[in-house]
């Protein structure tokens, strides 16, 4: 499973990455966490607000910092 954090590296993006990693580890998933910081790549996902969360290339959230609990629901 590939979890992508879409954002320029702002504090919200870092928090989302932290929460995503916590959620995936708590679920015992085999995952790769990628931080997508290139604005053109972020826009190619079709989101206008960061941070964004994508799983295996599919955008699951944009413009908000999800909690680890919310991310777990997405990853199940």
Do 63 and 50 form a contact (C-beta atoms < 8 A)?
Answer: yes
Count H helices, E strands: the chain? 3, 4
Q: 31 with 1: CB under 8 angstroms?
A: yes
Annotated catalytic residue 63: no
For the question of residue 13 being annotated catalytic, the response is yes
Out of 13, 24, 36, 47, the active site residue is 13
- Residues constituting the chain: 76
Grouping H, G, I as helix, E, B as strand and the rest as coil, residue 8 is coil
Active-site residue, from 10, 29, 43, 49: 10
Tell me which residues are annotated as active site: 10, 13
């Amino acid at each position: 499973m590939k979890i992508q954090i879409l954002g320029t590296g702002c504090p919200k993006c870092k928090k989302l990455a932290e929460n995503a990693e916590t959620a995936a580890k708590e679920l015992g998933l085999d995952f790769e966490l990628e931080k997508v910081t290139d604005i053109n790549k972020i826009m190619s996902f079709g989101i206008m607000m960061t941070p964004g969360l994508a799983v295996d290339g599919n955008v699951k959230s944009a413009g908000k910092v999800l909690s680890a609990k919310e991310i777990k629901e997405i990853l199940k």
